Chain A
Amino acid sequence: MATLSIHAVSKIFAGDTAAVDAVSLEIADGELVCLLGPSGSGKSTLLRMVGGFEQPTVGSIAIDGQDVTRLPPEQRPTGMVFQSHALWSHMNVFNNLAFGLKLRRRPKGEIRDRVEAVLDLVGLKGYDRRMTHELSGGQQQRVALARSLILEPKILLLDEPFASLDQHLRERLREEVRDIQLRLKITTLFVTHGQDEALSMADRIVVMRNGRTEQTDRPEVVYRNPLTPFVAGFIGTMNFIEGKVETGRFRHADFAVDLPVADGPVTLAVRPEALDLVPADGVRQATVNRVTDFGTHGLVDLSLSDGTRIKSLVRRPGPFHPGQGVGLKPRAFAAFRDTVKLYGAIDAEPADQH
């Protein structure tokens, strides 16, 4: 289908606020890339610049090698799905989908066939005569997706398309969208602030913060090998424990662990599933605050003596109870000093403990 190249793109709004700051990104043909970040990280602004709804202050955007930086949205080979569906409420489903084709003066027969085909693709066959307000939220979002796909854009842009839907519908729709994207092999840029969405759908994730790219990698790499404390904390749940390294050993008031880095202050990052809990054996390293049983696993909330709250994911929560003293045994961890990663990966599975 198409490739997308974003080269050193910045967007500076009035008052010198850089919503997007020198972001570069290459998206391969048929790839689905998620822009992930908190509110105000610049992900939607970047997406809107690709769609042509915002003009970059500097930098360039090319689709299939052709510079589209200054082209208005109506002349770009992109299709956008908006968070609010943005369906035209005065038109029925058929007219919503056919509008773009009518503007291009396609023959009536072709319009009818393509509308039917795209409705079939999104699982809404037979809904063409419905008014948009007669559809559920999920159906409306499917129509919005169909409206973008019917014009066969080179790049599909999705701006938090499931944000207004409930959890179950969101999970089902993201699987459907991913299936459609894989079937059509359409190059897709997807904005979300939901890590689950990014991890489950993306070929690559771009984690953004304050208009800049923090890390661009495959989902499993972003999760298991975050390059910055922000990425480590933003994707999944992460325990951060402040301490000091002295002669190759990380020391906290409550426990210590070998860490082969230069002496100095360090933040230890441990995923809950990589933090085993062991019997205290007379040395209480942490105190259990609360135990939550999720059926398939348990989550134990703990406190260290300095007030730091951490979590441990256990296979069986039964043996733990509030007030209990436990020992800590991190199996895999990373270490950061300031924003620089000094050590390790945090890949781990929950141990079969207790």
Chain B
Amino acid sequence: MLGKASARGLVGLLLVALPVSLVGWLVIWPIISAVQRTVWRASPDGAGHFDLSSYVFFFSDAYSLNNLSLTLWTTSVCAALLLVVSLPIALYLRFARGRLASYVQALAILPMFVPSVILAYALIRVLGPNGLIDLLLNAAGLPKLRTPYLTPWGPVIGLVWDNIPLTVLILLSGLGAVGNSAIEAARDVGANRRQRLWHIILPQITTSILVALSFAVLGIFSAFTLPYLLGPASPEMMGPYMQRTFRDLNDPVGAVTQAVVTFGFCIVFGLFYVRSVARNQGK
């Protein structure tokens, strides 16, 4: 019996060995290596020494801090807008019946299948100078609107649109767990629409909201393509900033330091996600 149990244990270990090794090799080791590279530097004489100067520079450099605060601003605004946009869509899809709901679902999921570069190009053609909106306003004899292209709102619009599908799907799965009868029971005791949403539905999908926001925030904080193509040159989000520091300024330690700082913020959101999942499993 013991032999059989040990064999089963060994098989289990073998099954998880590959993914665990891959995570160790491709995720854990680069993190350790990046942190190590930024705090343990080589002296001219070849000896290594502890050095936090790249972090001191990052946190004392106004430009770096502006970039970090722009990234935090973009992430917070995107997260808030995503919730405001995606929750009504998810609620509609959860409770609506019929053909229109299917069309709305298809539209809401569509951005998932559009590559970021195509999405950025489409947004430039619609929102950019002499884009579709400009042409329509001009045709209607109306004045031009200030384009969000190459302003902080450019990446916000693109990132929100890009993240709607995943957010809607996660919220929808949370709403699927809220039973019709639980909502009907609330109606039965006299709750109106707003009270049902606030007291019955939202408290039951808190975990889904946290998970959806964690996913969105993690993606947005380290986004590159959309901020690079739609955002301003200065200040810039951390993704383009890292790339420019590495390639244009030829400062790999500076770029890795920015990556470690970005990772530090992301891991906080990651912990939110892990905590939500753990709480959910504990129920």
A residues with a Cβ closer than 8 A to B are 51-53, 72-75, 78-80, 82-84, 86-90, 99-100, 103-104, 133, 144, 147-148, 151
Contacts and interface: CB of A to CB of B under 8 A. Distances in A.
Given A90-B203, A133-B283, A99 B182 contact: no
A201 B230 CA distance: 70
Given A74-B192, A103-B195, A88 B187 contact: no
Contacts of B189: 74, 79, 99-100, 103, 147, 151
B123 to A, nearest CB: 39
A90 to B, nearest CB: 4
Interface in B181-199: 181-182, 184-192, 195, 199
13 contacts: A51-B188, A74-B188, A78-B188, A82-B181, A82-B185, A86-B181, A88-B182, A88-B186, A99-B199, A103-B195, A147-B185, A147-B189, A148-B188
B190 A89 contact: no
B204 A90 contact: yes
A120 B187 CA distance: 25
Contacts of A148: 188
A147 B182 CA distance: 12
Contacts of B44: none
B197 to A, nearest CB: 13
B19 interface: no
A330 B187 CA distance: 53
Interface of B: 179, 181-182, 184-192, 195, 199-200, 203-204, 283
Contacts of A72: 187
A151 B203 CA distance: 23
Nearest to B204: A90
A89 B204 contact: yes
Nearest to B182: A86
A86 B190 contact: no
A80 B185 contact: yes
A74 B185 contact: no
B204 A86 contact: no
B176 to A, nearest CB: 14
B190 A84 contact: no
Nearest to A79: B188
A100 B190 CA distance: 6
Contacts of B191: 74, 99, 103
A86 B195 CA distance: 17
Going nearest first, the 7 A-B pairs with the smallest beta carbon separation are A100-B189, A86-B181, A86-B185, A73-B187, A90-B203, A82-B181, A74-B190
Nearest to A150: B189
B279 to A, nearest CB: 12
B179 A86 contact: yes
B180 to A, nearest CB: 9
A82 B183 CA distance: 11
B190 A53 contact: no
Contacts of B195: 103
Contacts of A104: 190
A82 B185 CA distance: 8
Nearest to A73: B187
B96 to A, nearest CB: 15
Nearest to B195: A103
Nearest to B206: A90
Contacts of B199: 99
A103 B200 CA distance: 13
B184 A80 contact: yes
B188 A80 contact: yes
A90 B201 CA distance: 10
A79 B189 CA distance: 7
Contacts of B283: 133
A72 B182 CA distance: 16
Given A89-B204, A103-B195, A84 B179 contact: yes
Contacts of A51: 188
B53 to A, nearest CB: 50
Interface hub of A84, A87, A90, A133 (most chain B Cβ within 10 A): A90
Contacts of B181: 82-84, 86
> Which one of B185, B190, B199, B283 has the highest number of Cβ atoms from chain A below 10 Å of its Cβ?
B185
Contacts of B186: 88, 99
Nearest to A148: B188
A199 to B, nearest CB: 27
Contacts of A151: 189-190
A151 B185 CA distance: 13
A76 to B, nearest CB: 8
Contacts of B190: 74-75, 100, 103-104, 151
Contacts of A53: 184, 187
A92 to B, nearest CB: 12
Contacts of A90: 203-204
A169 B147 CA distance: 68
A83 B271 CA distance: 39
Given A83-B181, A86-B179, 11 more contacts: A73-B184, A73-B187, A74-B191, A82-B185, A86-B181, A88-B182, A99-B191, A103-B190, A147-B185, A148-B188, A151-B190
A73 B188 contact: yes
B171 to A, nearest CB: 16
Nearest to B181: A86
